[in-house]
Amino acid sequence: MPSTRKVTRRELVRGAVAAAAAAPVVSRDLLAQPPSSKLRVALIGCGGRGSHVALEVLRLGHQVVALCDVDENQITAARRFLADKFEPGKATLEKAAAYGDYRRLLEQAKTFDAAVVATGSRWHAPISVALMKAGKHVYCEKPLVYRLAEARELGQLASQCKVATQTGTQGGSSKAFRRAVEIIQAGLLGSIDRVYLWCDGYGPNPPSHDRPPGEDPVPAGLNWDFWLGPAPWRPFKKGVYHPGCLRFQNWLDLCNGMLAGQGAHTFYLPVRALDLGPPVRVEAQLPEPLRETYVSKGRFRFEYPARGQRPSLSLWWYDGGAYPPEEITASLKTISGKVPNMGCLFLGERGELYTGGWGGEGLLRLKGDKQWRGVLDHEAAKKVPVTLPRVAGDNHVLEWIEACRGGPATWSDFTVGARVSEAYLPGILALRLGRPIEYDGAAQRVPDAPEADRWIRKTYRTKWLL
Q: State the SS3 of the chain.
A: CCCCCCCCHHHHHHHHHHHHCCCCEECCCCCCCCHHHCCEEEEECCCHHHHHHHHHHHHCCCEEEEEECCEHHHHHHHHHHHHHHCHHHHHHHHHCEEECCHHHHHHCHHHCCEEEECCCHHHHHHHHHHHHHCCCEEEECCCCCCCHHHHHHHHHHHHHHCCCEEECCHHHHCHHHHHHHHHHHCCCCCCEEEEEEEECCCCCCCCCCCCCCCCCCCCCCECHHHHHCCCCCCCCCCCCCCCCHHHHCCECCCCCHHHHHCHHHHCHHHHHHHCCCCCCEEEEECCCCCCCECCCCCEEEEEECCECCECCEEEEEEECCCCCCHHHHHHHHHHHCCCCCEEEEEEECCEEEEECCCCCCEEEEECCCCCCEECCCCCCHHHCCCCCCEEHHHCHHHHHHHHHCCCCCCCCCHHHHHHHHHHHCHHHHHHHHCCCEECECCCCECCCCHHHHHHHCCCCCCCCCC
Give the tens place of pLDDT for each residue, 257-310.
999 999 999 999 999 999 999 999 999 999 999 999 999 999 999 999 999 999
Give the tens place of pLDDT for each residue, 14-44.
333 333 334 444 434 443 445 558 999 999 9
Least confident of 202-206, 250-254, 351-355, 433-437: 202-206
Which residues are CB-contacts of 1 (< 8 A; sequence separation ≥ 6)?
none
User: Taking residues 344-350, what's their average pLDDT?
Assistant: 98
User: Taking residues 428-454, what's their average pLDDT?
Assistant: 98
Burial of 221 (0-12, 13-18, 19+ CB in 10 A): middle
Angle of helix 48-59 relative to helix 72-85, nearest 10 degrees?
40
pLDDT value, residue 359: 77
pLDDT value, residue 32: 42
Which residues are CB-contacts of 345 (< 8 A; sequence separation ≥ 6)?
195, 196, 197, 324, 328, 329, 332, 352, 353, 354
**For strand 165-167 and strand 299-304, is the pairing parallel, antiparallel, or unpaired?**
unpaired
State yes or no: pLDDT of 334 exceeds 50: yes
Pairwise CA distance, residues 300 & 398, whole Å: 35
Pairwise CA distance, residues 393 & 390, whole Å: 9
pLDDT value, residue 72: 98
Pairwise CA distance, residues 312 & 251, whole Å: 33
Q: Judge whether 7 and 377 are in contact, CB under 8 Å.
A: yes
Pairwise CA distance, residues 39 & 60, whole Å: 10
pTM: 0.92
Pairwise CA distance, residues 405 & 380, whole Å: 38
Q: Judge whether 381 and 364 are in contact, CB under 8 Å.
A: yes
pLDDT value, residue 8: 39
pLDDT value, residue 436: 98
Q: Judge whether 335 and 372 are in contact, CB under 8 Å.
A: yes
Domains of the chain: 1-23+174-211+255-387+426-466 (3.30.360.10), 24-171+411-417 (3.40.50.720)
Q: What percent of the chain has pLDDT over 90?
A: 85
Which residues are CB-contacts of 125 (< 8 A; sequence separation ≥ 6)?
144, 145, 146, 147, 150, 153, 154
State yes or no: pLDDT of 354 exceeds 70: yes
User: Taking residues 397-413, what's their average pLDDT?
Assistant: 97
Give the tens place of pLDDT for each residue, 86-97.
999 888 899 999
Which amino acid appears at position 341 of this protein? N
Q: What is the mean pLDDT of the chain?
A: 92
Give the tens place of pLDDT for each residue, 359-397.
778 999 999 999 999 998 899 999 999 999 999 999 999
Cα 373–Cα 175–Cα 9 angle in degrees, nearest 5: 40
How far is the first Cα of the chain from the last one, in angstroms, to the nearest whole number? 63
Q: Judge whether 203 and 389 are in contact, CB under 8 Å.
A: no
Give the tens place of pLDDT for each residue, 221-250.
999 999 999 999 999 999 999 988 888 899
